[in-house]
Amino acid sequence: MRRQVAGNLAWMLAERCLQVAGGIGIVAMLARGLGPDGFAHFQYAQAVVYIAASVALICGSEVAVPRLVANTDQVSQHRLLIHVFGLRLAAGVFAYLLICAYLLFTGQGLDIWAPTLILGVAVMLREPFGVVTAWMQSRTSTRPNAIFNLASLAIKAACVGLLFQVGSQDASAYAAAFSVEAVMVALLLTWYYLPRAPGTNVTLDPALARELLRNGALFWVSFMMMTGSRRVDQLLLKPLVPLTEFGAYAASMQILDNFVVLATILAAGVAPMYVYAIPTFAKARQNIMKIAGAMLTVGLVGGLSIAACAHWIVELLYGSAFVAAAPLLQLAALASSLIFADIALTLLPIYMRRPHLVAIKWALVCAVTIAIDAVTIPAFGAHGAILGYAVANLVAVIFGAFIWMRQQPTALPRQETSAPSLHG
């Protein structure tokens, strides 16, 4: 069993690493193919879709996986998955309508409408069909999902590469290449699950749907706040600065998005053994602080390295047209190191099974981001957005440190010290 869990985790980590590597190459081709203005439009469209996609995160794996593990009856599992699928699909459709409403309300032009609506297709596909991924996780068998994701990534990279080779500067065409990935994953997951599903008809159970919605509400709100805090800066920045400045900022943040994924990978790698498997709260709490220190060190080393090589990195990935992104990347890279400590400190409320603390943190971070950006962006442009990014990261770390200090070893009730699921 331990070998199966280790193999499952290895597949997850390998997939994430390959996703990051592939994403860097795709973004490089995208930036060079579209140019600064076209890339700015595309990144703005992605920011809108990214925030709206959080609406579809209703009834996530945190709710579905423990239920699937607790009840291994195939008919019961199928019934649960159908209800989760329905909730996620309804939320995805609502999120797509929100995208349309936002574009209409803000008076965006066709150069934003077209790629945003095409990219938005993924909102209605990823989470609903992701119920199959939750089913795989409950069976400790995520290898097929990793293969499906990497195969779809390869198809997206091939499509983007083809558009780049033919010299396309059509943002909508690149958006379609991105949407192909979501369509392929949905088809592959469906192809995998249906032959293994019991051939029984499932009728709607409103009580079960309400229960799933209620149990997942806190996680849902947390995800929406987290997503908003990570992308609201771009929504606020674009109307107030020249398009080239916004493109430079988006390019620098795109690099850091891939860098901070390393923090998630590290946490996922060490948390099961050194946090979740620890039976005593005092020891788990001690380990979390050690992990936070180690991860902060990794973040600082990585951030300083990126800052030192910023001009070379920008030139290598984006070309000379994005030279303005280098000084922005230098500043933001230093601030990004705080995310490593934040992710490590978040392991404590997860271990304690107190998701409301995570929700409070992200609500606070999102509010701070909006407040600071609203003041600094009009005055300092992209540099103001970086200041908001840095302060928001600092607030997240301070909040995590406060929770760590407040939760003394004797403060946690005994029944809550059992290690939660990796998806909790």
pLDDT of residue 415: 38
Alpha-carbon Rg for the chain in angstroms: 21
- Residues 33 and 163: their CA atoms lie apart, in Å, by 8
403 within 8 A of 348, measured Cβ to Cβ: yes
pLDDT of residue 143: 83
**What are the domain boundaries of the chain?**
1-204, 218-424
The residues of the chain scoring below 50 in pLDDT are 1, 411-424
pLDDT of residue 8: 59
Mean pLDDT of the chain: 90
pLDDT of residue 270: 83
80 within 8 A of 68, measured Cβ to Cβ: yes
Cα dist. 73→78, 79, 93, 213 in Å?
9, 10, 30, 22
pLDDT of residue 4: 57
pLDDT of residue 72: 85
Q: How many CA atoms lie within 13 A of 371 on its CB side?
A: 9
- Residues 400 and 339: their CA atoms lie apart, in Å, by 11
pLDDT of residue 411: 47
Write the DSSP string, 108-169. Answer: --HHHHHHHHHHGGGGGTHHHHTHHHHHHHHTT--HHHHHHHHHHHHHHHHHHHHHHHTT--
348 within 8 A of 271, measured Cβ to Cβ: no
Roughly how many angstroms between the first and final C-alpha of the chain, as a whole number? Answer: 20
pLDDT of residue 2: 58
The verdict on pTM exceeding 0.95 is no
pLDDT of residue 418: 35
